[in-house]
Amino acid sequence: MTIIEGMAPNLSAKRAGAKVSTYFLRRDVPIAVFPAERAEAVSKFFPLIMGSWELCRCVIETNLENINLLVHPAMALLNMGYYDQAEAAGDTVSFYGTGNTIHAGRLTEALDAKRPPVCDAFGVRFRSPVEHIHRLYGGAGDTVHEAVKQSPVYKNSGALPPRIRQSWMADDIPLAHVPFVLLAEAAGVPVPLHRGFVDIVDALLGSNSWQDGLTLERLGLAGMSPEKIRTFVETGR
């Protein structure tokens, strides 16, 4: 079996009732193939999946480059009180507007500080959240807070009921943050901030991400060294 995976969808859309409208097309979306050695053979299918793509080395790279594991949970966690009040009042929330605080940006950057050694351990490229925001969404700014604030895409993302925004934290923690923590620890990179982050979110949401998330056991990577994981994603063996 061959799997083609993108870091994110190549378009952003809004839904109003039965109507769905696209408001942005991402450029050069990172895309990878599992196993990576089959990338050339299936490259003819890429245009059917992504309008504009950039081939990555392997699926480990597309996953470690997924900045949603940092940006969404950090903003959501530091705005939970705001969401609670908005939900009680029946209001919508602006995730990338009001939710994009200076401290949420700083938390994102603190979480991101551990990604370079993890990427290095698995032999994949590292790009910061600011680099990704500029490349995928345009805009300016040297910090996460400023990059989000100045991106025209984030400005047009609109407002939604708070439960929808909270669901990003409920999804990104077990499906992106948990595997990042476990891959980091498999590589010998301590990530106490990330592990504590998962525990705090689980306490708030009443969830158990360590049990229900994408563990290395579920991914078929349990007990493997970084070198064996790299070989596995390259060859499927």
pLDDT tens, residue by residue, 97-138: 888 999 999 999 999 999 999 999 999 999 999 998 888 887
If one counts the domains in the chain, the total is: 1
pLDDT value for 102? 95
Q: Lowest-confidence range among 9-18, 101-110, 150-159, 194-203?
A: 9-18
Distance CA 220, CA 226 (A): 13
**Top mean-pLDDT range of 10-14, 42-46, 184-188:** 184-188
pLDDT value for 235? 94
- CATH classification of the domain holding 132: 1.10.1040.10
Distance CA 233, CA 237 (A): 8
Whether 52 has a pLDDT exceeding 80, the answer reads no
pLDDT value for 194? 96
Residue 96 in any domain: the answer is yes
Contact 80, 107 (CB under 8 A): no
pLDDT value for 60? 94
Across the range 179-183, mean pLDDT stands at: 96
Q: What is the pLDDT of residues 213-228, one digit of tens each?
A: 999 999 999 999 999 9
Across the range 5-12, mean pLDDT stands at: 70
Name the residue range of residue 224's domain: 66-235
Whether 178 has a pLDDT exceeding 90, the answer reads yes
Distance CA 130, CA 118 (A): 18
Contact 68, 172 (CB under 8 A): yes
Residue 9 in any domain: the answer is no
Task: Output 99 or 210, whichever has higher pLDDT.
Answer: 210
pLDDT value for 43? 81
Across the range 94-98, mean pLDDT stands at: 86
β-strand 11-16 against 19-25: which pairing, if any? antiparallel
Residue 41 in any domain: the answer is no
Whether 164 has a pLDDT exceeding 80, the answer reads no
Contact 6, 29 (CB under 8 A): yes
Task: Output 65 or 21, whichever has higher pLDDT.
Answer: 65
Residue 197 in any domain: the answer is yes
Contact 122, 59 (CB under 8 A): no
pLDDT value for 24? 67
The angle, 0 to 180 degrees and rounded to 10, between the axes of the packed helices 68-77 and 192-205 is 50
Whether 14 has a pLDDT exceeding 70, the answer reads no
Residue 110 in any domain: the answer is yes
The tokens for 91 are 């209001």
Distance CA 209, CA 206 (A): 10
pLDDT value for 136? 81
Residue 112 in any domain: the answer is yes
Residue 99 in any domain: the answer is yes
Distance CA 229, CA 153 (A): 35
Residue 82 in any domain: the answer is yes
Whether 166 has a pLDDT exceeding 70, the answer reads yes
pLDDT value for 11? 65
Looking at the DSSP assignment, which residues form a beta bridge with residue 4?
A: 33
Contact 148, 154 (CB under 8 A): yes
Give me the chain's average pLDDT, please.
88
Whether 9 has a pLDDT exceeding 70, the answer reads no
